[in-house]
Amino acid sequence: MSTLLKATDIAHAFDYQLFSNVNLEVKKRESIAILGRSGSGKSTLLHILSTFITPNQGKVELFGKEVYSLPKDDIEAIRRYDLGIIFQAHYLFKGMTAQENIEIGTILSKKNIDMKLIERLEIAETMKQKIGELSGGQQQRVSIARVLSKQPKIIFADEPTGNLDRETATLVMDVILEYIEENNATLVLVTHDESMAMMCNSRYKLENRELVGF
């Protein structure tokens, strides 16, 4: 089965209608970017696609299973083993070292730390340091290493490079895209940065309450 994520006819509103009629399909080794202005509902859509918000309408299938009709334990297992969630606010433990933070992810998912990945993200020398001693950009790369070390099949990333300088942002995107290729995984990236979106296989925009490819 090559389709990892399929969303059909999704609609959602909070105080006002955010979007409707959203359809999306992402296959193995594919990366897609979702662009849109602030407040257009990008983060909400990402939460809907990644098991965290039940939409008002529509269906989300991950690995061929309709997510919002699964029992809670099954959803938890998918989150733990199959999904990698990179949000802008990273939830690292400040008093622990970079390595200990990454180990939390690998122990929970029963995987090993991939030192090649750590080298590639240029954070090998930070492993013994406490998170509080690292720069914002280093912390962000540690959190990305933690997510990728779990070996997820689908990566959901919300502005993962927002706080990084261009060179580091490009490095992080390169590493994530290499991961996708090597692991037959998928990336759903939310960004307002067109140059990051251009690195993906396809692009969509949330505009006028619709998701359109361009």
Q: Which is nearer to ligand ADP, 38 or 71 (CB)?
A: 38
Work out what residue 14 binds among Mg ion, ligand ADP, none; the CB cut-off runs from 5 to 8 Å by kind.
ligand ADP
| Piece of 41-49, 109-117, 121-129, 164-172 that binds Mg ion (CB under 5 A) | 41-49
40 binds Mg ion (CB under 5 A): no
101 binds ligand ADP (CB under 6 A): no
Q: Which is nearer to ligand ADP, 27 or 192 (CB)?
A: 192
40 binds ligand ADP (CB under 6 A): yes
Q: Which is nearer to ligand ADP, 55 or 105 (CB)?
A: 55
6 binds ligand ADP (CB under 6 A): no
- 158 alpha carbon, distance to own chain's centre: 6
208 binds ligand ADP (CB under 6 A): no
Q: How far is the CB of 43 from Mg ion (least distance, A)?
A: 3
191 binds Mg ion (CB under 5 A): no
132 binds ligand ADP (CB under 6 A): no
Q: Which is nearer to ligand ADP, 46 or 102 (CB)?
A: 46
Give one DSSP letter per residue of the chain, joined into a string. Answer: --EEEEEEEEEEESSSEEEEEEEEEEETT-EEEEEE-TTSSHHHHHHHHTTSS--SEEEEEETTEEGGGS-HHHHHHIIIIIEEEE-SS----TTSBHHHHHHHHHHHHT----HHHHHHTT-GGGTTSBGGGS-HHHHHHHHHHHHHHT--SEEEEESTTTTS-HHHHHHHHHHHHHHHHHHT-EEEEE-S-HHHHHTSSEEEEEETTEEEE-
With 0-12 / 13-18 / 19 or more C-beta atoms within 10 angstroms meaning exposed / middle / buried, residue 206 is buried
**Footprint on residues 43-72 left by ligand ADP (CB under 6 A):** 43-44
Q: How far is the CB of 88 from Mg ion (least distance, A)?
A: 8
43 binds Mg ion (CB under 5 A): yes
| Piece of 23-31, 41-49, 83-91, 160-168 that binds ligand ADP (CB under 6 A) | 41-49
Angle at 209 between CA 62 and CA 58, to 5 degrees: 30
Binding site for Mg ion (CB under 5 A): 43
